[in-house]
Structure 1
Amino acid sequence: MNHTKKHYESPSAEEYIKLRMAAGLSKKNEAAAEIGLRNSIFTVCLRQSDRLIGMGRIIGDGGCFYQIVDIAVDPEFQGKGLGKIVMTELTDYLEENAPEHSYVSLLADVPADGLYKKFGFEYTSPKSLGMYRKY
């Protein structure tokens, strides 16, 4: 982990998709990934040499609503605190840049919800429930 470096630019769509798949997240269309990555508010990538081993992004309108997405760590590097590094970078960005009363959301896969709780995120239920629709 000593050779892990933080970068603040988006990865290529190809390496983004590769990391998502390795981390057990859903596959994304390469053209859609290029658009999404380009429109990120903030991105942090963790790399060893040139290899993408972890990342996370913030998307949203930049004012009222933000969403943390794409928290992914290559399985070979999981359990070494890299997810915590990514979340620290993302929440530090929000602390410095999100206007007062902004709403920050994320969808938590179990058991990653335990990590997100450490950063102050709470379950929305029973007041509200997360919903989604895939295309």
Structure 2
Amino acid sequence: MKPYDIRHELPSVDDYMRLRKIAGMSGRSREAATTGLKNSLFSVCVYAGDRLIGMGRLVGDGGCNFEVVDVAVDPEFQGRGIGKDIMKVITGYLDEHAPESAYVSLIADVPADRLYKKFGFDYTTPSVGMYKRY
């Protein structure tokens, strides 16, 4: 038995913001986090007791486009397969709900790209990822 609990639920706004910060991800305003979380297609949270130690979400239109976002693991718990468990749950959801021809994307930080490759994701070349931050 694993020493943590995997739940198909949204994190609280506070837990979401805390985990993003300690995992080295960019910050989000409370307003953005509140709106973004409630508009998720799917979310998975990993807890050690009542402490959020991992998460991942899917956003998109639910038909043509899906994006894997916010995959994060508390640094204290990294290297234990939690990221892999999160991706198993997310890809399981996609296998069940994504229609044929759906496009699933993500932006990977190195070295996390190695994890995503294990789940069938590949680089977008010759296309490139682009962004605009507000």
Distance apart, 1:2 and its partner CA: 2.6
Gaps spanning 5+ residues in structure 2: where? none
Question: Which residue in 1 is equivalent to 2:14?
Answer: 14
The answer to which of 1-10 and 99-108 deviates more is 1-10
Q: Secondary structure of 1:86's match?
A: helix
Tell me, yes or no, if structure 1 residue 97 matches structure 2 residue 97: yes
Alpha-carbon separation, structure 2, partners of 1:88 and 1:42: 13
Question: Which residue in 1 is equivalent to 2:115?
Answer: 115
The size of the alignment, in residue pairs, is: 134
Question: Which residue in 1 is equivalent to 2:58?
Answer: 58
One-letter code aligned to 1:51: R
One-letter code aligned to 2:102: S
Question: Once the two structures are aligned, what percentage of the paired residues are identical?
Answer: 58
Gaps spanning 5+ residues in structure 1: where? none
Alpha-carbon separation, structure 2, partners of 1:71 and 1:11: 12
Question: Which residue in 2 is equivalent to 1:131?
Answer: 130
Alpha-carbon separation, structure 2, partners of 1:62 and 1:2: 31
Deviation readout 1:66-108 (Å, 9 max, x if unpaired): 0000000000000000000000000000000000000000000
Distance apart, 1:49 and its partner CA: 1.0
One-letter code aligned to 1:123: Y
One-letter code aligned to 1:122: D
Q: Secondary structure of 2:122's match?
A: coil
Question: Which residue in 2 is equivalent to 1:41?
Answer: 41
Give the aligned CA root-mean-square deviation in angstroms. Answer: 0.9
Q: TM-score, normalised by structure 1?
A: 0.97
The structure 1 segments of at least 4 consecutive aligned residues displaced by more than 3 Å after TM superposition are none
Alpha-carbon separation, structure 2, partners of 1:3 and 1:31: 33
Q: TM-score, normalised by structure 2?
A: 0.98
Alpha-carbon separation, structure 2, partners of 1:2 and 1:93: 21
One-letter code aligned to 1:36: G
Alpha-carbon separation, structure 2, partners of 1:52 and 1:73: 9
Q: Secondary structure of 1:19's match?
A: helix
Distance apart, 1:57 and its partner CA: 0.2
Distance apart, 1:3 and its partner CA: 2.5
